[in-house]
Structure 1
């Protein structure tokens, strides 16, 4: 359920909002909280800490909407605000945007436009929450994150999460960009890094969309972990989507005739999740280890460009839902017996 705070001194707006969104309220998709000015809005936010979106008028007694915007930006970094005002001149719009408003709607309110704006704003807030969750669970502070993410994180909570070691049931996917080593050996460093980052940017959303966590980037490969319900199914869906997105990319240029493809290994089972590294060097990596992880990497190494390779154990769990082709027995490093493998087609 999404909680929305409506701030307006006009009582009619509360009635209209409840009428226009009654279906979503009954379906428990939206919950509305109301305030008549900025001061009361801040009080409501203290009472309702799970508010996602604020709809606010500009002209209100005691504290106007533009002042409220400034307070929200300082105190509530994730929450997003939409201004609803009869003052739709460019000066007010620019001032609102500069103070952190996500969007601007003029009165009289077009409720169809308001509904679409709400959906867009809620989607943006959810994406931000997903990013923050990924930061906490993946230790990706080494990457560039914006101030909003950093301000939101509770340092004590983050510290505790980094020291938690556990055994988990999960799925691991190794996704490698085939043949990229040749590019790295023959092109300028700037070209290599830009290309690799562009390829990762294409694949990462497909992983996050299925609830996957980017454990780490290893050279030109991604190690992704999927936990929770249907983690194997979600991992396969994510990898198939990433494969499709990469395959749709054109060659780099007329000079660099490189067409990207990926080889993927997926394995599922019990693994250890924890902080691995050297405390003396102050370099610890929150990651997963174990035979399941090693096997996934070796399945990827055995995969051809464009292949998604899984074990027979994984195949038996998902064969009713995915089209697969038997590859046969292959020998994997440090395995005494051959492993029967399958390729996931679609």
Structure 2
């Protein structure tokens, strides 16, 4: 690399001395030297030679002095590393120059050995800054490209290419969401391909944007189903709170999406969401040729089964107690103790509710009826019947009433 240096000094003999001193480096292509006699001439020279690597400037010069030149150089988008030269007795100006961003200083009369060493040090600094900028630009380009395909956090880590930065397979405590659409298989079989493509792209795009807004990681998209992780790959101490907030936002967006497409004559089903929190094996399971950042384990399976439980319960969102208890200011109502496939112990589940619905009188009425049912009180059946009578659009209350009418007792239930 040839380093280009701009010397700014009004002494008439300096140019010849400098050229004589650095003749070998100039001959070998290590240095290229440019000269200016004051600050204004230096700025004009920099416009014509933007590739200049560093500036060596005197302070006392006509028209524009070195301190004024330094101020102009620091205002530029690409700041030039500047060495200030002044008399030893002018230390106040040298201190001012250093405070204004000068890289180093030299005193007059110039010791050429000191000048040589200072230039070498400055060139190393310039090369280091260029390498940092180059890597930053490469990382930004890589991140922009990867962000088209991966969650922002995964894209950032992949672009940084830092080994062992959370992408390796490891056990982590996570919160995970599963989403699915009712009746999607039938829609696939009946909708024209062009309509289906537009619909699914808009749906998945909108859902993933919401996940990214809550800083979640999209682990999988399989058709209409989406798996989301929180607290992976980066640490998110409030992962349960994020999961609940994200579930509410996804639910609201999906309902609006369904209504818009229904107005266009397409019967798009409801989106169901399940969430659970606990340990999972998380990392890249794609081998050497593919990238597949995802999670496995009982926590993941349970979240998927809670999503499926919505179909029986009549709910759209169903979360486990680990999510409800871990989320800050959780608003919701108990669903019951679910005996899910693959689990030997019942799992307490909840239906998260928006704050307005949670504070409505019907929620308190439901809580009273549920408490009676959980206690085995025979008054639970008329309590749920009264609730359904006033709120026929409450499918969860209707689900419990049907159970009780069929002879079930308590809050434990087996879901197929």
* TM-score band w.r.t. shorter chain: 0.5 to 0.7
Q: In the alignment, which residue of structure 2 is the partner of 1:326?
A: 334
Q: In the alignment, which residue of structure 2 is the partner of 1:264?
A: 273
Q: In the alignment, which residue of structure 1 is the partner of 2:130?
A: none
Q: TM-score, normalised by structure 1?
A: 0.55
Residue 200 of structure 1: CA displacement? 1.4
The 5-angstrom pairing of residues 47-62 of structure 1 reads: none
Q: In the alignment, which residue of structure 2 is the partner of 1:291?
A: 298
Q: In the alignment, which residue of structure 2 is the partner of 1:309?
A: 318
User: What is the rounded CA distance, in whole Å, between the counterparts of 1:296 and 1:328 in structure 2?
Assistant: 16
- In structure 2, relative to structure 1, the CA distance for the partners of 1:128 and 1:285 (3 Å cut) is closer
User: What is the rounded CA distance, in whole Å, between the counterparts of 1:307 and 1:254 in structure 2?
Assistant: 21
Greater shift, 192-201 or 252-261, is seen at: 252-261
Residue 265 of structure 1: CA displacement? 0.5
User: What is the rounded CA distance, in whole Å, between the counterparts of 2:324 and 2:74 in structure 1?
Assistant: 57
Residue 259 of structure 1: CA displacement? 3.8
Partner-residue secondary structure (3-state), 1:181:
helix
2:178 aligned with 1:174: yes
The 5-angstrom pairing of residues 160-309 of structure 1 reads: 164-227=168-231, 228-249=236-257, 250-252=259-261, 256-277=265-286, 279=288, 282-304=289-311, 307-309=316-318
- In structure 2, relative to structure 1, the CA distance for the partners of 1:210 and 1:338 (3 Å cut) is same
Count of paired positions: 226
Any unmatched runs of 5+ in structure 2?
Answer: 1-42, 44-69, 82-132, 355-416
Partner-residue secondary structure (3-state), 2:254:
helix
Partner-residue secondary structure (3-state), 1:215:
strand
User: What is the rounded CA distance, in whole Å, between the counterparts of 1:316 and 1:160 in structure 2?
Assistant: 31
User: What is the rounded CA distance, in whole Å, between the counterparts of 1:44 and 1:343 in structure 2?
Assistant: 61
User: What is the rounded CA distance, in whole Å, between the counterparts of 2:275 and 2:286 in structure 1?
Assistant: 24
User: What is the rounded CA distance, in whole Å, between the counterparts of 1:73 and 1:278 in structure 2?
Assistant: 30
- In structure 2, relative to structure 1, the CA distance for the partners of 1:187 and 1:259 (3 Å cut) is closer
Any unmatched runs of 5+ in structure 1?
Answer: 1-8, 10-33, 46-71, 80-126, 140-148
Asked if 2 retains the 8 angstrom alpha-carbon contact of 1:262 and 1:307, the reply is yes
Q: In the alignment, which residue of structure 2 is the partner of 1:42?
A: 78
Partner-residue secondary structure (3-state), 1:283:
coil
Q: TM-score, normalised by structure 2?
A: 0.47
Asked if 2 retains the 8 angstrom alpha-carbon contact of 1:307 and 1:344, the reply is no
CA deviation profile, 1:36-94 (whole Å, cap 9, x unmatched): 4699533479xxxxxxxxxxxxxxxxxxxxxxxxxx99984788xxxxxxxxxxxxxxx
Runs of 4 or more, structure 1, over 6 Å off, are 72-75, 127-130
- Which structure: greater strand fraction? 1
- In structure 2, relative to structure 1, the CA distance for the partners of 1:339 and 1:135 (3 Å cut) is closer
Residue 306 of structure 1: CA displacement? 5.5
Q: In the alignment, which residue of structure 2 is the partner of 1:153?
A: 159
User: What is the rounded CA distance, in whole Å, between the counterparts of 2:266 and 2:217 in structure 1?
Assistant: 32
Which structure carries more relative contact order (alpha carbon 8 Å, separation 6+)? 1
Asked if 1 retains the 8 angstrom alpha-carbon contact of 2:187 and 2:268, the reply is no
User: What is the rounded CA distance, in whole Å, between the counterparts of 2:309 and 2:300 in structure 1?
Assistant: 15
Asked if 2 retains the 8 angstrom alpha-carbon contact of 1:243 and 1:306, the reply is no
Q: In the alignment, which residue of structure 2 is the partner of 1:50?
A: none
Q: In the alignment, which residue of structure 1 is the partner of 2:363?
A: none
- In structure 2, relative to structure 1, the CA distance for the partners of 1:169 and 1:254 (3 Å cut) is closer
Residue 263 of structure 1: CA displacement? 0.5
Which protein shows a greater Rg?
2
Asked if 1 retains the 8 angstrom alpha-carbon contact of 2:73 and 2:79, the reply is no
User: What is the rounded CA distance, in whole Å, between the counterparts of 1:340 and 1:251 in structure 2?
Assistant: 35
